[in-house]
Amino acid sequence: MKILITIYHSLGYGGAEVSTRYLAEALKSKGHQAVISSSQSYSGLDTRLFKEFDKKPFSLQERYLKKFLIKIIKEEDINIVHAQDRLTSIAAVKAAKECKIPVIVHFRDFWPECPRSSCMAPDGYIYDICSYKIILKHFPVGRWLSDFYKWNYLKKSWKTIEEADVKIVSSEMEKNKLKSCNIQKNVNVIPIFRDPKTFEKINEKDFKNKFKLKQITLLYIGSFFYTKGIPFLIKLMPEILKENKNVSFLLAGDGPMLKDVESLIKKENLQEQIILAGRIDYKDVPKAYKISDIVIIPTAWEEPFTGVPLEAGASRKTFIANKVGAIVELKGKDFAFLVEKDNLQEWKEKINKLIENKKLRDKMGDNAYNMFIKNYSSNIVINKILDLYNTLLQ
């Protein structure tokens, strides 16, 4: 079958784009044709590029993309449209409906519930669904008008989203949130996945030579943003490093809080123990896990699902994370430490326990691998998605 996958950005922007690539590659491995429609190229995959439109009014965005997608659907004889993000989903639903073919909307964050897609305000306030009152009380004044405009558009789009034949979410928590938007018809919980082959037979020598790391390495991989827990990470790192001179933090990513991390490094003179790797190429991500001993996930928002614990598991690495969001829904046993959100003392205790006990690290890493292989590897999850496709076409 031919599947049209729509997503605005390509790799290097966020986890949704990584998951989209894995989806397209898994479909291709099963003998199906995946056509990606995006504003940026997905190297090695069939990508149809549209013009960037995220700065234009929403009505113009919809009109332009709908026309673009209808053309592809007709020319390529597409069987199913599978939308991946906020910027393309509304137009994708309308285009598919006009062409009378099935359409799936895949939710990878909280974009229907929040103009920031996180249900977490910059001041740290967490909510189930946004409102004009929340914007006034918790959002920056300079963003009020744009956030009002965006929130009004999102609410008006709920009916269109509900018209999609199938909705896919990665967690029960996310499914429950959609109910608050009256989006509840045919919502399926299917986790994200990773291809285990990507994390096998890794030659990490160039990474080892590039980063002068200590005996034990703690890896953070993600954006430098408040929702990802960077403010807490800034508090945590000096506490760990002053007690463990044989430890390095390898921070892979970029974002608006990079300067805050750089200021910490300079202030505490931690240049030899906090290594800033910058954004790592998609193909090099497994190397970062390979040279690390412990993965840390200090996420602050109620994240629907993140690929980091799956990538850690695929690399046989244990991890420590805040007990927030869908990470608590991971299936498996004794593969990680989940601690109360931003509990500095508990984080220190768990990290030190793993630093001091290699046998425990290895055992939990093996358990993490089993958790991943049994529940979140590409061969298992892609079959669930294909079952949905086949049901729709029948």
Q: What is the pLDDT of residues 174-198, one digit of tens each?
A: 999 999 999 999 999 999 999 999 9
The residue written with tokens 């950005």 in the block is 9
Contact at 8 Å (CB) between 315 and 287? Answer: no
Q: Tell me the average pLDDT of the chain.
A: 96
Does residue 12 have a pLDDT over 90? no
* Averaged pLDDT, 63-85: 98
How far apart CA 141 and CA 24 sit, in angstroms, is 40
Q: Which domains does the chain have, with CATH numbers?
A: 2-193+377-393 (3.40.50.2000), 198-375 (3.40.50.2000)
Q: What is the pLDDT of residues 201-260, one digit of tens each?
A: 999 888 888 998 999 999 999 999 999 999 999 999 999 999 999 999 999 999 999 999
Q: Given this model, what pLDDT does residue 209 score?
A: 85
Q: What are phi and psi of 197, to 5 degrees?
A: -65, -30
Closest among 275, 185, 169, 180 to 221, alpha carbons compared: 275
Q: Given this model, what pLDDT does residue 13 score?
A: 86
How far apart CA 250 and CA 280 sit, in angstroms, is 12
* Averaged pLDDT, 34-54: 96
pLDDT band at 44 (very low <50, low <70, confident <90, very high): very high
pLDDT greater at residue 377 or residue 206: 377
Q: Which helix (H) or strand (E) holds 34?
A: strand 33-38
Q: Given this model, what pLDDT does residue 394 score?
A: 87
Does residue 14 have a pLDDT over 90? no
Q: What is the pLDDT of residues 331-346, one digit of tens each?
A: 999 999 999 999 999 9
- Cβ-count burial of 348 within 10 angstroms (0-12 exposed, 13-18 middle, 19+ buried)? middle
Q: Given this model, what pLDDT does residue 71 score?
A: 98
Query: And the tokens for 300?
Result: 């602050």
Give percent of the chain with pLDDT exceeding 70. 100
The secondary structure of residue 219, as a DSSP letter, is: E
Give percent of the chain with pLDDT exceeding 90. 94
